[in-house]
Amino acid sequence: MNRKTRYYLVAGLALAALAFIATACGGDDDNGGGGAGGGNNDKPLVIARDMDINSMDPSRAYCDTCQIYLTATYDTLIGLDPKDNKTFIPRVAEKWEGNADRTQYTFTLNKKANFADGTPLTSADVKWTFERLANVKGSAAYFMDGITAIETPDPQTVIVKLAASDSSFLAKVNASYAGIINSKLASANGATAAKDADTTDKAEAWFLKNSAGGGPYTLANYTEGAEIRLARNDKYWGDKPALKEVIIKQVKDAVTQRQQLETGDADIAMQIDPDTAKKISNKSVTIKEVPSFNFVYIALSPGAKDNKIDLNPKIREAVRSALDYDGIIQVTLGGGGKKQAAPIPNGFLGTKNLQLPSRDVAKAKQLLKDGGQPNGFTIDAMYPNVNVYGVDFNTMMQKIQSDLSEIGIKLNLQPVEFTVWVAKIRGDGIPLTAVYFAPDHTDPIQYVQYFGMVPGAPWAGRAGGANTPLLNQAEVDLSAKALASSSDAEREKLYESIGNEMIKDAIILPIVNPNLVLAYRSELEGMHYSACCNLEVARLKRK
Amino acid sequence: MTIEVRELDTGLDFGRTVPRVPAWLTLPVGVGAAIIIVWVAVAITVSWWAPYEPLATVGTRLTSPTWRHLAGTDALGRDVLTRTLYGTRSSLPIAAIVIAVAVIIGCVVGAVAGMFGGWVDSLLMRLSDITLAFPPILLAMTVTASLGPGLRNALFAMVVVWWPVYARLLRAQVMAVKEQDHVTAATSMGAGQGRILIRHVLPLAMTPILVNATMDFGQVVLLAASLSFIGLGALPPSPEWGSMISEGSVRFYEWWIAAAPGVAILTVVLGFNFLGDGVRDFLDPRTRRR
């Protein structure tokens, strides 16, 4: 390239850059009204979403998008009332009951229930589905832990017997991963529920192209990284869904999601953050901020291999008191979130009366002194470089870094890829880290089993170090009682006590419970956020 | 050769009375030099006069440019202009170190390969071929990803990417120069290989290296910013142009967060490209445009 050409090239680039900046300045105009706007349910519904699909096989899937897809294509035994996100409602099972100590559950199936191909849905399918979920050993396999027997005395009755009390079993059966699979159809395509299913089951690839459920929709097409296309199951035995076709389209970022929503290219944008939502003034778009059950937390692991600081309870409490929670929520979500007391999200049983954290720098400094680190210390903080629920982790961690520096704690921030983070946290552990959590089902026990200092809980192991998990006997006893209780009032009290114990542990420090932004075209009805299933597309229709 | 060209120039301009500007000092070169001088001055003096601290929250978050904050504030309420100015303190030294180390390694490898030839040459050149076979950004990403993020690792990765360019360049020059008469003369007078290389070959072979190094300076600034952009370079909260643009990229409607560091990168790269042209014309009149 000779010099003259290069001048023009460089000058052109400079002009292009200026032009870009100029368009960006003026890019705030309302360009709405582009959608057809007709109230026609035959027009496909387009959901813009950054998808995180790990598998389309109900026994292997474990992701937020999976919950939406599986809920649409597979019926669960029981459903969740979208009005309160708590009450279970009949679905495949018209009746169900647990025994007094919650070790046995009996489900009576609706005779009308069938699969999309017309095969009746029977107790054999339920047994097969549950056994396959356990034996394929996917991430949700733990839902079926403790089942000693599944009895099917007749095609409409399923009796599940458990080794130990489990008051959360109904919540697990309600979760989308426990959606009932057409066992004949799936078996014919390589699926098995046998004990060795984790090696002998060959159906995962088949599930990428087909659904085998009895839900209101069936899978019409799945293209990895592009779209999931759902077609209405016209033979659905329950309430017929209104929309003929639903497309979940891969759209990575909030900005593009917003643009597609405003122009009408998408009917629902699922990951718009509160900051971006505030900028939308388009009348054909409805924005609602609702409380979610997700939360972002930082975690301290005194037992991490690289940790050189004695992170005793006083020091951990000092960290909690040094954080400017309102400031963090402001900086990350423009105020679109709530503080959270214990690692059980606001709205779950037993969280009503827990004491929310607040900032007290003087107290934090005193605690540091009492904990034997009067001058503070330096600590490594590796965290996944992600943006979830509108919270940009880099922004959040820089704010936390500046908060902690006020009491003399210096954080070495190390943002890494999520996979790198996972390997590190499962291996050596990380002294101070940040991550997020979304519920698997609607029972608070999952938080004790994941965040509690109880045997087998991942964070008990990470906090204490590989061979010496940190344990809190009170949590062990209280959770055993909660699992055996059949009274919601009693469970609420027990979970409140557990919540207080977990606050005392000060291993998991919840930072924010972000609000969820429901952003959708105004002609859409039935938009909601479901605790079990994220979004139930079958409840949506156009005006 | 140099003398011939100079005579030619003089012949063309004969009779002029205006004071002569050297032919290599064109307007773009002047602009380039001015830009670079400004940025270097900023890097050295910024802490004396910058309006704010680069890491401190000094205003309402996400305010668009105002007189108080000429380039607005970011998500944490830090002044974007201050951070951009402080960004020179990572970008420019990094580029300087990468270029210096790459030139040194490249020159040693290239000189050895060119001087000794044979299997040494084949070995070293295949090594550089292998490195050059990867797209630079991909190779740098691989290296940093495996070492872990951080400016030091990014620096190492960029050296790994850059040295083969200079090795090949110098090797070609050495091979050409060592056939020239004055080298043969020196050899016949009994000079050793080392002396020939240092006294008689390198001085003549260095010109393209210097030109290339100036041109590459901007490219290194760009690559360092790219690595930081994808999270493999500077660690938060340090003000680095690439990571600032990355912070701005998720906030499309707060355009100013990315705009200021973007303009900074643009001007630095532009400046070094212009300056590189000038350096080439100055050192290597053969390629000068007449």
The verdict on a CB contact (< 8 Å) between A415 and B231 is yes
> Which pLDDT value is given to residue B290?
46
Report pLDDT for B1: 44
pLDDT of residue B191: 85
**CA-based nearest distance B112→chain A, Å:** 30
Whether residues A238 and A375 share a domain: the answer is no
**pLDDT at residue A292, as a whole number:** 93
**Would B23 be classed as within a structural domain?**
no
For the segment A181-213, what is each residue's pLDDT rounded down to a tens digit? 999 999 999 999 999 999 999 999 999 999 999
Q: Is residue A7 scored above 80 in pLDDT?
A: no
Q: What is the pLDDT of residue A9?
A: 53
Nearest residue of B to residue A28 by CA position?
B253
Q: Please state the rounded mean pLDDT for residues A471-499.
A: 94
- pLDDT of B288 over the 80 cut: no
Give me the mean pLDDT over the A338-351 stretch. 95
Residue A419 is part of a domain; what is its CATH number? 3.10.105.10
Interface touch A255/B253, C-beta < 8 Å: yes
Do A325 and A246 share a structural domain?
A: no
Would B57 be classed as within a structural domain?
A: no
Q: In the prediction, which pLDDT does B289 show?
A: 53
pLDDT band for position B10 (50/70/90)?
very low
Q: Is residue A38 part of a domain?
A: no
- Residue A397 and residue A415 in contact, taking contact as beta carbons nearer than 8 Å: yes
Pairwise CA distance, residues A263 & A258, whole Å: 9
B259/A21 CB distance under 8 A: yes
Nearest 5°: the CA angle A36, A42, A47 is: 70
CB contact under 8 A, A331 and B75: yes
Facing A415 at nearest CB: one of B61, B145, B236: B236
Q: Is A277 a member of any domain? A: no
State whether A418 and A535 are in the same domain: no
- Residue B18's pLDDT band, with cuts at 50, 70 and 90, is low
Share of chain A above pLDDT 90, in %: 79
Q: Tell me if chain A has a CB within 8 Å of the CB of B59.
A: no
B251: contact with A, CB 8 A cutoff: yes
The confidence score (pLDDT) of residue A32 equals: 36
Q: Is residue A30 part of a domain?
A: no
Top pLDDT among B200 and B41 is at: B41
Does residue A366 form part of some domain? yes
In angstroms, the CA B110 to CA A140 distance is 58
Contact across the interface for B270 and A14, Cβ inside 8 Å: yes
Residue A115 confidence (pLDDT): 96
Higher pLDDT, A28 or B242: B242
A424 interfaces chain B, CB cutoff of 8 Å: no
Provide, for chain A, the percentages of residues in helix, strand and coil under a 3-state DSSP scheme, each rounded to the nearest 5: 35, 20, 45
- Look over chain B and give the mean of its residue pLDDT values, rounded to a whole number: 87
pLDDT of A416 strictly over 50: yes
How many contacts, defined by CB atoms under 8 Å, are there between A and B?
79
For A11, nearest residue in chain B (alpha carbons): B270
Q: How many domains does chain B have?
A: 1
Asked if the bond preceding A120 is cis, omega within 30° of 0, the reply is: no
Q: Do B266 and A14 touch (CB under 8 A)?
A: yes
Cα A117–chain centre separation: 31
Task: Looking at the complex, report in whole angstroms how far the Cα of residue A328 sits from the nearest Cα belonging to chain B.
Answer: 9
Cα separation, A235 vs A214, in Å, equals 9
pLDDT tens profile B167-189 = 999 999 999 888 889 888 988 88
Residues A533, A482 share a domain: no
- Does residue A313 share a domain with residue A242? no
Cβ-Cβ contacts under 8 Å, A385 against chain B: 231
Return the pLDDT at B15: 52
Give me the residue label for tokens 């000794």.
B116
pLDDT computed for residue A268 by the predictor: 96
Same domain, A491 and A418: yes
Instruction: Say whether A21 and B255 touch across the interface (CB within 8 A).
Output: yes
Minimum distance, in Å, between the CA of residue A20 and any CA atom of chain B: 10
Specify the pLDDT at position B231: 86
Partner B contacted by A5 (CB < 8 A)? no
State the pLDDT at residue A397. 96
Q: Are A456 and A484 found together in one domain?
A: yes
DSSP, collapsed to helix, strand or coil, labels residue A65 as: helix
Determine the residue among A5, A8, A10, A418 to mutate to test chain B binding: the one whose Cβ has the most chain B Cβ atoms within 10 Å: A10
Interchain CB contact of B28 with A (< 8 Å): yes
Res B92: pLDDT:
94
Dihedral pair phi/psi, residue A317, rounded to 5° = -65, -35
pLDDT confidence of residue B204: 84
What does the pLDDT look like over B77-112, one tens digit per residue?
999 999 999 999 999 999 999 999 999 999 999 999
What pLDDT digit, counting tens, does each position of A142-184 carry? 999 899 999 999 999 999 999 999 999 999 999 999 999 999 9
Same-domain status, A299 and A249:
no
pLDDT of residue A15: 54
Asked whether residue B60 is assigned to any structural domain, the reply reads no
Average pLDDT, chain A: 90
Whether residues A163 and A308 share a domain: the answer is: no
What span, in angstroms and rounded, lies between the C-alpha atoms of A311 and B64?
A: 41
Residue B255 and residue A275: Cβ atoms within 8 Å?
Answer: no
Judged against a pLDDT cut of 70, whether residue A369 lies above it is answered with: yes
pLDDT tens sequence across A33-82? 333 344 578 899 999 999 989 999 999 999 999 999 999 999 999 999 98
Query: What would the mean pLDDT of B242-271 be, rounded to a whole number?
Result: 92
Confidence at residue B90, expressed as pLDDT on a 0 to 100 scale:
92
Nearest residue of chain B to residue A394 (CA atoms)? B236
Cβ distance A17 to B266 less than 8 Å, yes or no, reads yes
Kind plus residue range of the DSSP H or E element containing A222: strand A217-223
User: Which of A131-140, A409-418, B83-92, B199-208 is predicted with the least confidence, judged by mean pLDDT?
Assistant: B199-208
Query: Which residue range forms the structural domain that includes residue A389?
Result: 295-514
With tokens 């290989």, the residue in question is B193
State the average pLDDT over residues B40-54.
93
Q: Which of A38-47, A316-325, A336-345, A370-379 has the lowest mean pLDDT?
A: A38-47
Which pLDDT belongs to residue A278? 86
CA A117, A122, A126, A131 dihedral sign is: negative
Q: Does a structural domain hold residue B24?
A: no
Answer whether B61 sits within 8 Å of A331, measured CB to CB.
Answer: yes
Q: In terms of Cα–Cα distance, which of B220, B233, B219, B234 is closest to B145?
A: B233
Is residue A472 a contact partner of residue A501, using CB atoms and an 8 Å limit? yes
Please report whether residue A241 resides in a domain.
Answer: yes
**A40-44, A397-401, A538-542, B268-272, range with the lowest pLDDT:** A40-44
Read off the pTM.
Answer: 0.83
Cβ-contact B72, B60 below 8 angstroms? no
* Same-domain status, A509 and A529: no
Angle in degrees, 0-180, between the axes of helices B202-229 and B80-116, rounded to the nearest 10: 140
Amino acid identity for residue A69 in this structure: Y
* Predicted local distance difference test score (pLDDT) of residue B194: 84
Question: How many domains are there within chain A?
Answer: 2
Residue A239 lies in a domain: yes
Residue A29 forms part of a structural domain: no
pLDDT at A172: 95
Q: How confident is the model at residue B17 (pLDDT cuts 50, 70, 90)?
A: low
Average pLDDT over residues A225-241: 94
Other C-beta atoms closer than 10 Å to the C-beta of A450 total 18
Please report, for the domain that includes residue B262, its CATH number.
1.10.3720.10
> Mutate which of B29, B58, B61, B211 to disrupt the A interface (most A C-beta within 10 Å)?
B61
Distance of residue B252 Cα from the nearest chain A Cα, in angstroms = 7
Measured between CB atoms, does A30 come within 8 Å of chain B? Answer: no
Whether A354 shows a pLDDT value over 80: the answer reads yes
Residue B120 maps to a domain = yes
Candidates A25, A272, A394, A412, partner chain B, best to mutate (most B CBs within 10 A): A394
The answer, yes or no, to whether residue A4 has pLDDT greater than 60, is no
Spell out which residues of chain B touch residue A3, defining contact as CB-CB under 8 Å.
Answer: 277, 289
Residues A439, A323 share a domain: yes
Domain that holds residue B189: 32-52+68-287
> Which of B55, B151, B244, B251 to mutate to probe the A interface, most A CBs <10 Å?
B251
The pLDDT value recorded for residue B115 is: 87
Distance of CA B170 to the CA centre of its chain: 17
Say yes or no for a CB contact (<8 Å) between B263 and A415: no
How far from B226 is each of A418, B234, B240, B256, CA to CA, in Å?
19, 10, 11, 19
Residues A437 and A406 in one domain: yes
Does the residue B187 lie in any domain?
yes
Residues A210-220, buried b or exposed e (16+ Cβ, 10 A)? bbbbbbbbbbb
Residue B216 lies in a domain: yes
